Structure 1
Amino acid sequence: MTTPKKASDLFVECLEAEGVEYIFGVPGEENLDLLESLSDSSIKLVLTRHEQGAGFMAATYGRHTGKTGVFLATLGPGATNMVTAIAYSQLGGMPTLAITGQKPIKHSKQGRFQILDVVAMMEPVTKFAHQLHSGDNIPSRVREAFRLAEEEKPGATHLELPEDIAAEDAFTQPIARSVARRPSAETKAVRQAVEAIEAAKSPVLVIAAGANRRMTSNMLGEFVEKTRIPFVTTQMGKGVLDERHPLFLGCAALSAGDFCHRAIEDADLIINVGHDVIEKPPFFMDADGAKVIHISNTTAEVDPVYFPQIEVIGDIANAVWQIKEAITPQDTWSCGRMLEYRAADVAHSDPLEADTRFPIFPPHLVRQVRGAMPDDGIICLDNGVYKIWFARNYTAYLSNTVLLDNALATMGAGLPSAMMSAMLYPDRRVMAICGDGGFMMNSQELETAVRLGLNLTVLILRDDAYGMIRWKQANMGFKDYGLTYGNPDFVKYAESYGAIGHRITSSEHLTDVLAETGNTPGVHVIDCPVDYTENDQILNH
């Protein structure tokens, strides 16, 4: 007979069997057995100052590694605080496991105090949500949560561990990770795609969120080199291929009418790789327009603007490899006009990026940051109008060096995302880029960053308003109302946490400070005033 062990010990052993390195979170009394078990494990507990920060860190761990990031909270308010981060990882395709505690489920003595149906709350925003009713069920439920979190499309899972279940004896053992390979695309579908591409006059490649995987990046690079077909990225496809490539046409950061959208409109065939409906579509289909080949792990979700004529379903990297191997580049392909749009884009942007006015002009800010970051440097964008500028104008050289959220598009994720990046890659430069509104939503995590001894820069773009909504408010003809606020002294605020504060006074000063913070260890916070007043004139060209 198997020797009994405490269920919380078994739970931690199951996490160790899955290769878990960190658990991020804010524990409560319902997690105390689990905490005790963690204290004797190989897993490092990273205590954060809010459950959102823990969840954003776990999601970023999943985004970088492809492995499930794990975060922890108590019942009731701890669990409700998790929901935004869970939705962030679910929509963004980042594998995570959220663990929550619960009051005893067999003999409750506290009525309904703090008790919500957390599993029911999690079901709409996860791939799997389950309350553990028995210690002996822990191994199978943990293995299933990790399997589903990492299976394409990756996303969020949830397990609730009630305190009486955590404390009981269990008699089972962890289940080893299974080995699984995604199915390959069907040969006939590949042949149809090859024939359509060879018959096209002006094909274009669109690289989207689902293509942001290491092997897919390699195969797409080989495909572009062999075919010389130009490519566009969506915001969450940035960096899949080096954007210094002469065939790069731009990032679909704006709506129809921008230069890269005009290039797409010039195509008669769109090879759409890794399309995910969570992103704003990089193009709209019509019955008489370009044909579309959909290459993805899953079939297309058809709607009025997306109904591809050919679908190649299976492992994306393998599908691209099969097409690349079978295709014969055609002399009849004509992509010159697309490249002219890219040249016009660069010509349009260059003088704007050279504008050194103060407060800092957004195009110039992007150029400054790009100049300060090494090739493998990682920028982690919060959400605001500046995200458009960075998606559109910041040249990504490597995969997962521009972390932005074009799925849930939540504020408050930039700083925790940068913290996780700095933990994983201590030898690379990491910068969080946040609006003042988004920064203040999780600014308390500065204490966590300092406590962990991280090296990172937090660039706060200050306009003393919820700038994106204020811009749209003006665009839609509404009066300026309800969107401006005051801010703390960000230099003193940083120093109160033990970070290093900097206040920008000119464009030249920003250049110097970005260089200084890149060469000085510690957590740096930069208060940088920005000027968004000419967004319309610049973006509506």
Structure 2
Amino acid sequence: MMIGSDILVATLEEMGVEYIFGVPGEETLDLLESLRKSSIALILTRHEQTAAFMAATWGRLTGKPGVCLATCGPGALNMTTAAAYAHLGAMPMIMITGQKSIFSSPQAGFQVTDVVGTFRPITKFSCTISAVCDISSLTRNAFQLATNERRGPVLLELPEDVASAECETPPLLSRTNTGTMVASPADLERVSALILSAKRPLVMLGAAANRPEAYEGIHTFIQKLELPFFTTQMGMGADGGLDDYFLGTAALSRNDYLHDLIASADLIISIGHDTVEKPPFIPQPANQRILHIGYIKPCVATVYNPDEELIGDISFNLHALTRLLHGRMEQTSTLLHARNVIHDRTGGNSEKETWPPAPRQIVRAVRNIMPDDGIVALDNGMYKLWFARNYRAMAPNTLLLDNMLATMGAGLPSAMTAALLYPNRRVLAVCGDGGFMMNSQDLETAVRLMLNLVVLIIDDGAYGMIRWKQEAEGYADFGMTFSNPDFVQYARAYGASGYRVQASDDIANIIDSAFNAGGVHLVIVPIDYSENMTVLVEELSIRETHSFSENFEHKKNDFPESHP
């Protein structure tokens, strides 16, 4: 005989769970004791939101569900934002929450909320485990649901009387490997004909392209066919550093320099795009076709209505397409002629040192000291747009940002998970002062875990993204500014180290020194956001009326050849 909590933990071990991130409560004490006797490590966090962000990031980086734990009522409800983060971001995650006894009510309605009902719209599946003998099967089903396409979070609520109830020991079952479907030969032939008919094909790499298992197929497809490509924010790095064909990242939805080339393409080969992500471009249906290549069928929207689709394992299907198309494509696309011009215009004057530093200076400093496999985890703020526009990610999942829920507070927990998973790689969290303070209490967790982690805090004393939009739309500057603690002393109070940058040319040196020292470090740098208006509003507004998207064929010779 086994009690329910022992059955749950044994099933989690069967499913290969290494860590559970969470905050315990009275209703999870049996489960906590079962965990104590298991091989699973409990990562105690200082807030349930941090635990769930960490679990979601585990799922994002590994493809295996991360697991988090909270008690009933307020504990469970504290995970709602992270549940939505995983749901919109297609990150596999299992949330386990406690609950009061369901077969008796010794505390009446104290702390009882409809947790299952609350989470149902922001999970793939949400249920109460009401019978101890169902624990193993429901848990296994939760893992299956979390990893089936489209991936996402699942919630299991375990009442305390079910956790302590006894049941016959369930049999150990082998894990089910469902595999992934692939496209039929007829579909491959049809899609290859579409690509061959295009004069200016352009590849777009989206969120689902940024999975490790998709990398080889994507890399081979682009390199062997010499196809120009750009990425969405969530697709950054999916190509693995194919600079000769890289046009840029669609950090904005329209009117940036890159959008001129996108508009000039007659076929967008969209790989792994998900319409939950903010639109990377506005289609031109009159003279532009879209081919969707993904694990699942596209979600059709006003801004994304593909003409053709190729569904199934992305890497397998791209390898098959490459074999069909190799040697049959026309010479290198004319779109590549403009590559250097686009990069120069987007990069602007990032080499010029000013104080406080402009956003592009900070991006350049970070890129200079991060190795190709180094991981940068961004919180959400104005700086995220500049990193998306100017940071070149050289490998899959090395720039972790959120362009789906776009929540603040996830940058530090995401970086903590990356540092836990990859202790020998450089991991940098980049957070605004507003986003950092939303989960800064878990700096203690990072120190306790002895992580090697550097946190770069962009200190502007405001909610910068919304302040910029407030200004751009002509409103008065109101309701956006605040005061910050002394972040250097704040770091030291948690047992971390803190440094305040005093000059632009010290940014990279201080971050590099922090990495070399090991441990947890805060690096605080001010920022001059004046380029938000001069570049992203004024320059792009003027540029919009003088774009080179029209008559591209006549203008292509004005651009230097950039492909070897």
TM-score normalised by the chain length of structure 1 = 0.97
Report deviation, 1:309. 1.2
Q: 2:349 aligns with which of 345, 349, 352?
A: 352
- Code of the aligned partner of 1:264: I
- C-alpha displacement of 1:286: 4.0
Q: Does 1:379 pair with 2:376?
A: yes
- Which residue of structure 2 lines up, in the alignment, with residue 402 of structure 1? 399
Residue of structure 2 equivalent to 1:470: 467
Distance in 2 between residues matched to 1:515 and 1:283, nearest whole Å: 36
Contact 1:299/1:313 (8 A) holds in 2: yes
What is the letter of the counterpart of residue 277 of structure 1?
Answer: T
1:345 Cα deviation from its structure 2 partner: 2.4
Of the three residues 279, 291, 294, the one matched with 1:293 is: 291
- Name the residue aligned to 2:202: 204
Letter in 2 for 1:95: P
CA contact (8 A) 1:12 1:38 kept: yes
| Contact 1:236-1:404 at 8 Å conserved across structures | yes
Alignment RMSD: 1.3
For 1:181-220, list aligned pairs within 5 A. 181-220=179-218
Residue identity in the other structure for 1:132: I
Pairwise CA distance, 1:261: 1.7
Q: CA contact under 8 A between 1:349 and 1:363: conserved in structure 2?
A: no
Instruction: Indicate yes or no: 2:486 matched with 1:489.
Output: yes
Residue 96 of structure 2 aligns with an amino acid whose one-letter code is I
Residue of structure 2 equivalent to 1:327: 325
Tell me the residue number matched to 2:232: 234
Give me the whole-angstrom Cα distance separating, in 2, the residues matched to 1:187 and 1:259: 38
| Larger CA deviation: 136-145 vs 343-352 | 343-352
Would the alpha carbon gap of residues 385 and 243 (structure 1) be closer, same or farther in structure 2, given more than 3 Å must change? farther
Question: Distance in 2 between the 1:527 and 1:405 partners?
Answer: 22
Which stretch of structure 1 is more off in the superposition, 177-186 or 17-26? 177-186
Q: 1:16 aligns with which of 13, 35, 42?
A: 13
Q: Residue type of the partner of 1:301?
A: C
| 1:214 positional shift | 1.9
Q: Distance in 2 between matches of 1:252 and 1:151?
A: 28
Alignment partners' CA distance in 2, 1:420 and 1:458: 13
**AA aligned opposite 1:235:** Q
For structure 1, the residue ranges without an aligned partner over 5 or more in a row are: none
Q: What secondary structure, in the 3-state scheme, does the structure 2 residue paired with 1:246 have?
A: helix
Residue in structure 1 matched with residue 165 of structure 2 by the alignment: 168
Q: Kindly provide the amino acid, as one letter, of the partner of residue 85 in structure 2.
A: Y
2:275 and 2:304 in contact (8 A); partners too: no
348-357 or 443-452, larger mean C-alpha shift = 348-357
Residues 23-422 of structure 1 correspond to what in structure 2 (within 5 A)?
Answer: 23-171=20-168, 172-243=170-241, 245-330=243-328, 332=330, 335-336=333-334, 338-422=335-419
Shift of 1:323: 1.1
Aligned counterparts of 1:350 and 1:128: Cα–Cα separation in 2: 44
CA distance in 1, matches of 2:176, 2:197: 42
- Whether the aligned pair in 2 keeps the contact of 1:202 and 1:334 (CA below 8 Å) is no
Counterpart residue number, 1:433: 430
Task: Measure how far apart 1:284 and its partner are.
Answer: 2.3
Q: Counterpart of 2:156 in 1: which secondary structure? A: strand
Q: Is the 8 A contact 1:186 1:313 kept in 2?
A: no
Deviations 1:411-434 (A, max 9, x none): 001111111111111111110000
Moved more, 516-525 or 345-354: 345-354
| Secondary structure at 1:396 match in 2 | coil
Letter in 2 for 1:213: R
Of 504, 523, 528, which residue of structure 1 is paired with 2:525?
A: 528
1:275 is paired with a residue of what secondary structure?
A: coil
Question: Residues 125 and 531 from structure 1, CA distance in 2 versus in 1: closer, same or farther, beyond 3 angstroms?
Answer: same
Q: By how many angstroms is 1:350 displaced?
A: 4.5
Bigger mean CA offset, 201-210 vs 276-285: 276-285
Number of paired residues? 537
Q: Deviations over 1:422-481 (max 9, x none)?
A: 111111111000000000000001000011111110000010000000000000111000
Q: Which whole-Å CA distance do the structure 2 matches of 1:74 and 1:152 have between them?
A: 28
State the Cα distance separating 1:285 from its structure 2 match: 2.6
Please give the secondary structure, in 1, of the residue aligned with 2:368. helix
2:223/2:242 contact within 8 Å kept: no
AA matched with 2:54: M
Moved more, 71-80 or 288-297: 288-297
Identity value in percent: 49
For 1:343 and 1:116, how far apart are their aligned partners in 2? 57
Query: Does the 8 Å contact 2:271/2:294 carry over to 1?
Result: yes
Letter in 2 for 1:518: F
Classify 1:269/1:487 alpha carbon distance in 2 versus 1 (closer, same or farther; 3 Å): same
Q: CA deviation at 1:322?
A: 1.6
| Residue identity in the other structure for 2:40 | I
Q: Which moved more, 1:295-304 or 1:73-82?
A: 295-304
Instruction: Please give the alpha-carbon distance, in whole angstroms, between the structure 2 residues aligned to 1:24 and 1:194.
Output: 45
Contact preservation (8 Å) 2:206, 2:233: yes
Q: Is the 8 Å Cα contact of residues 192 and 310 (structure 1) preserved in structure 2?
A: no
**Amino acid across the alignment from 2:530:** T
40-49 or 502-511, larger mean C-alpha shift: 502-511
Q: 1:459 aligns with which of 451, 456, 473?
A: 456
Q: Please report how far the alpha carbon of residue 342 of structure 1 lies from its aligned counterpart in structure 2 after TM superposition.
A: 2.5
Contact 1:260–1:342 (CA under 8 A) maintained in structure 2: no
In structure 1, distance between residues paired with 2:126 and 2:159: 14
2:79 alignment partner, SS class: helix
CA contact (8 A) 1:412 1:438 kept: yes
Deviation at 1:360? Answer: 1.5
The question of whether the paired residues in 2 share the 8 Å contact of 1:201 and 1:333 is answered with no
Q: Report the CA distance between 1:391 and its aligned residue.
A: 1.1
In structure 2, relative to structure 1, the CA distance for the partners of 1:476 and 1:303 (3 Å cut) is same
Q: CA deviation at 1:333?
A: 5.3
1:151 deviates by 1.3
Q: Which amino acid aligns with 1:370?
A: R
Mapped partners of 1:388, 1:157: distance in 2: 30
Q: TM-score scaled to structure 2, two decimals?
A: 0.93
Any unmatched runs of 5+ in structure 2? 541-564
- Aligned pair in 2 of structure 1 residues 351, 309: CA closer, same or farther (>3 Å)? closer
